[in-house]
Amino acid sequence: MARGAWVNVLITGGSGFVATNLAEALLRRGENVVLFSRHSPPALVIEALSRLGTLHLARGDVRDRTEVASACKEHKVDALYHAAAITADAERERISAREVLEVNVLGTQAVLEAARDCGLRRLVYLSSSSVYGKNAVDAVTLDESATVPWPANLYGISKYAGEMLSLRFGELRGMDVRVARVDTTFGPWERDTGVRDTPSPLMQVTRLAVLGREAVLPGVGRRDWLYSRELAAALIALMDKDDPRYRVYNIGPGREWTVEEYCRKLGGAYPRFSYRMADEAARANVDYYLSHRAPFSVKRLVEDIGYVPRYGLQEAFADYMPWVEQYGDLWTAN
């Protein structure tokens, strides 16, 4: 499919971090974008996106098939990204498990049915690295074929269920459905949206740097951190690809680096910022998992989809800092 060939693209979870980056990239190349969500994005986000092209806001709940279908029909949508989800931490899992499952699983079924009702040409379901769960610890790399999903928390369980629902629905209904397993993501437009319980450690330390505070890290934080604009570009490439060999693709940067390395770069940009490792006398003020998790294999993404990751630490940092200077007020006010 030619670049920019989609006319009207709907993104569920439209007020979220990933959806904003995806909308930005789609608008820049000429698609009309419909952001579907229960809540509108912040005014600053709407203003920034509206300058890029034709943006529509559709209020609705992904659990309501008729609301999703109505938005698709009204805006003549021909492609859909299903990004709506509650990214629950352990506390939300304990107290709101039913809501998490209703949104992440039953909401997925409702979106699929609405897409079928509207005759959509193609749908990409956004899954998560969390589906690999316990099997991510001992693997060398996380491979779509070789690494069996074994989710360890409710979020991962619900995302894996969403994958299976989406793929089975596509088989039964003849719908072109693709699954994107998304690596741990950070970058522009990340903010507290009320449904993503733990912000990335990169956003956390950047916020501390802007405020001139010290970051106390629980560990070096090595991971294949995925830059949000990288994710958006890869998701568009996945949607555009005609006749892919597979249905499931890892979306990652293909390289690793640490939160500590990132903090060193922040220190050069923000002289009042400092960081150190937590010890018995000082508890960490940055939250992230310390357990090892193998990096994504992106071989399928590169060889079949033809997308080559571009953002390592240097490239991501250079792109992120101007955004922080312009839009950091989205999350530094508190």
Q: Do 146 and 269 have their domain in common?
A: no
Claim to verify: residue 43 and residue 73 sit in the same structural domain: yes
Q: What is the pLDDT of residues 215-242, one digit of tens each?
A: 999 999 999 999 999 999 999 999 999 9
In the prediction, which pLDDT does 205 show? 96
Q: How confident is the model at residue 88 (pLDDT cuts 50, 70, 90)?
A: confident
pLDDT of residue 192: 80
| One domain for residues 213 and 141 | no
Are 215 and 163 in a shared domain?
no
Average pLDDT over residues 240-245: 96
| Contacts of 131 by beta carbon, 8 Å cutoff, 6+ apart | 149, 151, 156, 159, 160, 163, 181
- Whether 74 and 134 share a structural domain: yes
pLDDT tens, position by position, 13-22: 999 999 999 9
In a domain, 20, yes or no: yes
- pLDDT given at position 121: 86
Residues 128, 208, single domain; the answer is no
Q: How many other C-beta atoms can be found within 10 angstroms of the C-beta atom of residue 258?
A: 17
**Mean pLDDT to the nearest integer, 55-78:** 97
Low-confidence winner among 84-88, 105-109, 268-272 (lowest mean pLDDT): 84-88
- Residue 55 φ/ψ, nearest 5 degrees: -115, 135
On the question of pLDDT at 3 being above 60, the answer is no
> What is the Cα–Cα distance from 296 to 330, expressed in whole angstroms?
30
- The pLDDT value recorded for residue 290 is 65
Please tell me whether residues 19 and 149 are part of one structural domain. Answer: yes
Contact 203, 30 (CB under 8 A): no
Q: Is residue 322 part of a domain?
A: no
Instruction: Provide the pLDDT for residue 174.
Output: 94
- Judgement on whether residues 141 and 212 belong to the same structural domain of the protein: no
| Total length of the chain | 334
Q: What is the largest CA-CA distance in the chain?
A: 60
Given a cut of 70, whether residue 333 has pLDDT beyond it is no
| One domain for residues 183 and 280 | no
Q: What is the DSSP string of 97-150?
A: HHHHHIIIIIHHHHHHHHHHHTT-SEEEEEEEGGGGGGGGTT-SSB-TTTS---
236 is a domain residue: yes
What pLDDT score does 113 carry? 97
H helices within the chain, ranges in order? 17-28, 43-50, 65-74, 90-95, 97-101, 107-117, 154-173, 201-210, 228-240, 259-269, 299-300, 313-327, 329-332
Total count of domains within the chain: 2
Domain assignment present for residue 321? The answer is no
Average pLDDT over residues 196-203: 85
Q: What is the pLDDT of residue 325?
A: 94
Whether residue 214 has pLDDT greater than 70: yes
Residues 46 and 136 both lie in one domain: yes
User: How many other CB atoms are there within 10 angstroms of residue 116's CB atom?
Assistant: 18
How many CB atoms are closer than 10 A to CB 314? 10
The answer to whether residue 334 scores a pLDDT higher than 80 is no
Q: Are 207 and 271 part of one and the same domain?
A: yes
Q: Are residues 250 and 300 in the same domain?
A: yes
- Confidence at residue 2, expressed as pLDDT on a 0 to 100 scale: 45
Q: Is residue 3 part of a domain?
A: no
DSSP 296: B
What average pLDDT does the segment 69-89 reach?
95
The strand pairing partners of 208, in sequence order, are: none
96: domain CATH number is 3.40.50.720
Evaluate if residue 26 carries a pLDDT over 90. Answer: yes
Residue 88 belongs to some domain of the structure: yes
Q: pLDDT value at position 287?
A: 87
Mean pLDDT on 136-152: 94
Mean pLDDT of the chain: 93
* Residue 112 maps to a domain: yes
Domain range enclosing 180: 8-189+227-255+294-316
Chain-centroid distance, C-alpha 104: 14
Question: pLDDT class for 197, splitting at 50, 70, 90?
Answer: low
**Cβ atoms within 10 Å of 308's Cβ, excluding its own:** 11
- Global pTM reads 0.95
Tokens representing 5 are 């060939």
User: Is 195 among the domain residues?
Assistant: no
334 contacts: CB under 8 Å, gap ≥ 6: none
